[in-house]
């Protein structure tokens, strides 16, 4: 156990060092899945899975802060989750409200100037949770250090529909012209409105399922964000999993840059710059052998 820990810490330091040399994603979104399966595996009551999951969320925010991530969006409760049994819903809402209260009082929130916003159909939530949301939003509304969006009672299609209806009302009232509606106008009508540049760079899903469950469909596709699906359940998600997710983002960025360069070189070669053949072979070699974080 002791040696496992030593090796783990060493690997964590190594990965952190490698990752810091490359671009850190500005906006990370996470589908925190697997709380109940984690509890089932341990043979404990399922609600404890949600409690342990909330602890991971707190660590996740520390990791984002340490690496300089500017915005984190966490999927805490989907509109589909309203179909879960009432006692489970009540427990989840209780945990979220408690965590929001703690966030409002936590000195780290204020040192980091963390702005907290809830996104979703919050009017569907019980009053005590709506109050907790209001308290933390009010306490942090002037901050601009790191932005935390908590997706609660959130559904991606609903978010787009609400935006469409809102814009349609404005068009009817003569406040918006239909031909003015472009990507930026739609973005401004989403729940994430007010957040500078809400496009997601990296989406992480724990718990082994490879789907995005109606999470941020607009914000994740605008930038064609990287996706990292991993097996650990959310309560057991560790910092090295987080770092690996960032490495996947960096590798993808690197590949995109390289393929853009290769395309340009191909084009120049096609235009008669003969020496471009050598450039292309060289670039292909770089792409194959030098991913960020790989040992050289």
Question: What residues line the site for ligand IPE (CB under 6 A)?
Answer: 31-37, 75-78, 80-81, 92, 207, 209, 213
Query: Which listed range, 32-40, 42-50, 74-82, 179-187, lies at the site for Mg ion (CB under 5 A)?
Result: 32-40
CA 189 to centroid of chain Cα atoms: 20
Q: Which is nearer to ligand IPE, 22 or 37 (CB)?
A: 37
Task: Tell which one of 25, 33, 39, 233 touches Mg ion (CB under 5 A).
Answer: 33
- Among ligand IPE, Mg ion, none, what does residue 37 contact (CB within 5–8 Å per kind)? ligand IPE
Report the Cα–Cα distance between both ends of the chain, in Å, rounded: 31
- Among Mg ion, ligand IPE, none, what does residue 229 contact (CB within 5–8 Å per kind)? none
Burial class (CB in 10 A: 0-12, 13-18, 19+), 87: exposed
- Among Mg ion, ligand IPE, none, what does residue 75 contact (CB within 5–8 Å per kind)? ligand IPE
Cα–Cα distance measured from residue 182 to residue 44, given in angstroms and rounded to the nearest whole number: 50
Is position 201 an interface residue for Mg ion (rule: CB under 5 A)?
no
- Among Mg ion, ligand IPE, none, what does residue 112 contact (CB within 5–8 Å per kind)? none
- Nearest residue to Mg ion, using CB? 33
CA 254 to centroid of chain Cα atoms: 20
Cα–Cα distance measured from residue 272 to residue 247, given in angstroms and rounded to the nearest whole number: 37
Q: In what order do the strands lie in the sheet with 202-205?
A: 114-119, 146-154, 71-78, 27-31, 202-205, 226-229
Q: Which is nearer to Mg ion, 33 or 199 (CB)?
A: 33
Cα–Cα distance measured from residue 232 to residue 31, given in angstroms and rounded to the nearest whole number: 12
Q: Which is nearer to ligand IPE, 219 or 250 (CB)?
A: 219
Which amino acids are annotated catalytic?
A: 33, 81
């Amino acid at each position: 156990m002791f040696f496992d820990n030593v090796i783990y810490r060493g690997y964590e330091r190594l990965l952190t060092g490698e990752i810091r040399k490359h671009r850190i994603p500005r906006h990370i979104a996470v589908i925190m899945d697997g709380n109940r399966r984690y509890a089932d595996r341990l043979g404990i009551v399922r609600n404890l899975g949600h409690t342990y999951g909330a602890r991971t969320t707190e660590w996740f925010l520390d990791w984002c802060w340490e690496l300089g991530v500017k915005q984190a969006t966490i999927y805490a409760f989907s509109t589909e989750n309203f179909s879960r049994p009432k006692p489970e819903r009540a427990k989840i809402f209780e945990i979220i409200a408690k965590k929001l209260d703690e966030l409002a009082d936590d000195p780290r929130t204020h040192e980091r100037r963390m702005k907290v916003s809830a996104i979703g159909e919050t009017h569907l939530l019980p009053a005590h949770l709506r109050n907790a949301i209001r308290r933390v939003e009010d306490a942090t509304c002037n901050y601009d250090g790191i932005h935390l969006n908590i997706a609660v009672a959130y559904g991606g299609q609903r978010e787009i529909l609400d935006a469409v209806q809102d814009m349609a009302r404005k068009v009817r009232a003569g406040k918006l012209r239909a031909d003015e509606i472009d990507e930026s106008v739609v973005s401004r009508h989403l729940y994430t409105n007010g957040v500078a540049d809400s496009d997601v760079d990296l989406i992480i899903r724990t718990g082994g399922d490879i789907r995005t469950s109606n999470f941020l469909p607009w914000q994740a596709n605008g930038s064609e964000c990287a996706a990292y699906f991993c097996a650990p359940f959310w309560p057991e998600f560790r910092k090295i999993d987080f770092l690996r997710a960032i490495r996947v983002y960096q590798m993808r960025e690197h590949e995109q840059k390289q393929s853009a360069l290769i395309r340009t070189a191909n084009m120049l070669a096609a235009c008669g710059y003969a020496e471009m053949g050598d450039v292309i072979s060289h670039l292909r070699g770089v792409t194959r052998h030098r991913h960020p974080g790989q040992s050289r």
